[in-house]
Structure 1
């Protein structure tokens, strides 16, 4: 039987993209035993107001990280710690759907059902595609995979993923490295080290518009030399 589900979306500006992602989630076939929280990671005052208006329209929990920390964005470590606590208190799995990902009507229920049926899952993720349905970053390695549910040793992304309650119980996110910015690679590897199985669902693709909330990261694809130069110079985007 599927566990309850705590769904989260971290948001940093790029309101139109984020609002589309949030709306797709709220208008999908949500299981009855789920909760949904948006973590606003120091968006501008205008975008903060728009998120507050959107929660009145759609109904979701909205947490402004500026009320909890003075640490500048990104605050993924704090988001994961808060979400882990809430999921464990509810006996729930944790589902992360990032603000540049658009799910389908049945994505959540099918991923929840898969997580309940798979053998000892730690992390379960949906493959991402572009507007044309072609597998894109961060799953380019899976571009030739069959349409299935595949047990994998490769790293998974938080784009659209479930962290099982068992994994949440086995590793406390307070031990995540505070000097890092992103944690999906680390946690997907940690899951396997703890004895869990990770799975990539290639038959349930979701639309991904990479890094729309942080436009400077588009340099990774258009001008990679400049991206890596700035990454080193400004000490950002650590994984």
Structure 2
């Protein structure tokens, strides 16, 4: 029996998607793996179908479920919550610009078992040099500590506990938002759970590979916010 449901939402970014999937399939731990394809280009879809057969994971094409244009993170979260609750195991989200290590999944599961009333447990993200990077570059001191954090946890590589999944129904997520990690992090604390950041569980993060326009936030912030406001992008 699996100890976790692991999911990866995919929107093109084929190069990083391949790295993400390869790393997950080589990771230790007993888990079931699902890739949710959010209206990617044919090349990405073809790769996912081929890799699913070769490597043994399940691919879900959202075009078979909805005609709502990408991003469809809410649908992904709802389907994933259903899978996790049916199996009675935690849900681990690993995004398609993240590369885990062989012990990442098992380490997060072990931490969730050891800590008090966990809602979410997040692995910290690093760059190619091993330095903390977006979205956890507010952490300035390196350590192997597991800390109770008041900051929101990103869904880059985050484990969500069964008790929290049982208490908060993702069908309640807002219809006019695109991303939900901040809201779900806050909701976890609001209903009495603790969110933990595992600073010793480090995963490589290649930010915004599936949404390259978001790099404008750092290169041309005025244009970024104009696109965000007038094109209604990146609604959190």
TM-score, length-scaled by structure 2 = 0.97
State the partner residue of 2:117: 120
Please state whether the residue corresponding to 1:133 is helix, strand or coil. coil
Structure 1 Cα separation of the partners of residues 129 and 75 of structure 2: 35
Instruction: After TM superposition, give the deviation of residue 147 of structure 1 in Å.
Output: 2.6
Instruction: After TM superposition, give the deviation of residue 141 of structure 1 in Å.
Output: 1.3
Instruction: After TM superposition, give the deviation of residue 204 of structure 1 in Å.
Output: 1.1
Whether 2:170 is the aligned partner of 1:193: answer no
State the partner residue of 2:221: 224
Whether 2:79 is the aligned partner of 1:82: answer yes
Structure 2: stretches of 5+ with no match in the other structure? none
- Per mean C-alpha deviation after superposition, the further-off stretch among 113-122 and 222-231 is 222-231
- Per mean C-alpha deviation after superposition, the further-off stretch among 216-225 and 185-194 is 216-225
Q: How many pairs does the alignment contain?
A: 235
- Which of residues 87, 93, 98 in structure 2 aligns to 1:101? 98
Please state whether the residue corresponding to 2:215 is helix, strand or coil. helix
Instruction: After TM superposition, give the deviation of residue 118 of structure 1 in Å.
Output: 0.6
Please state whether the residue corresponding to 1:156 is helix, strand or coil. coil
State the partner residue of 1:130: 127
Instruction: After TM superposition, give the deviation of residue 145 of structure 1 in Å.
Output: 5.3
Please state whether the residue corresponding to 1:142 is helix, strand or coil. coil
Instruction: After TM superposition, give the deviation of residue 47 of structure 1 in Å.
Output: 1.2
State the partner residue of 1:39: 36
Structure 1 Cα separation of the partners of residues 131 and 112 of structure 2: 24
Structure 1 Cα separation of the partners of residues 224 and 61 of structure 2: 29
Give CA-to-partner distance per residue, 1:153-178, whole Å, 9 cap, x none: 11110000000001100000000001
Give CA-to-partner distance per residue, 1:89-121, whole Å, 9 cap, x none: 000100000000000110001111111111000
State the partner residue of 2:177: 180
State the partner residue of 1:21: 20
Instruction: After TM superposition, give the deviation of residue 144 of structure 1 in Å.
Output: 2.4
State the partner residue of 1:149: 146
Structure 1 Cα separation of the partners of residues 140 and 223 of structure 2: 26
Structure 2 Cα separation of the partners of residues 155 and 45 of structure 1: 34
Structure 2 Cα separation of the partners of residues 151 and 53 of structure 1: 41
Instruction: After TM superposition, give the deviation of residue 200 of structure 1 in Å.
Output: 0.1
Structure 1 Cα separation of the partners of residues 54 and 140 of structure 2: 38
Structure 1: stretches of 5+ with no match in the other structure? none
